[in-house]
Amino acid sequence: MCSQLLERSIYVVPSKAADTGNIKGVFDGIKTAIGPRVNKSAPIKSESERPITDKTKQLERWVEHYSEMYATENKVHQSVLDEIELQ
């Protein structure tokens, strides 16, 4: 009985809602099937390994991180490039 109820909530209800053009019913069925939304996030740390809690400072840290990452020049030997097969 429990498995039939679960199957109905996951497959039948959203499908019937879609057939009748009930978009809200489709999304409600999807939310029921997926379950509650869990917000997970890892703390962003400063260069000194301290957690940053202020949203503005977190964004500034991401800018700093990616600026450093993309500012580094990658050097590749021509012999390595010659070994790559072009398709």
The full set of domain ranges for the chain reads 2-34, 41-87
In our burial notation (b when 16+ CB lie closer than 10 A, e otherwise), range 58-83 reads: beebeeeeeeeeeeeeeeeeeeeeee
- What is the reported pTM? 0.41
Classify residue 35 as left (phi > 0), alpha (psi -120 to 50) or beta: left
Residue with more model confidence, 9 or 70:
70
Distances from the Cα of 27 to the Cαs of 37, 47, 57, in angstroms? 13, 42, 35
Q: Which of 8-12, 49-53, 69-73, 82-86 has the lowest average pLDDT?
A: 8-12
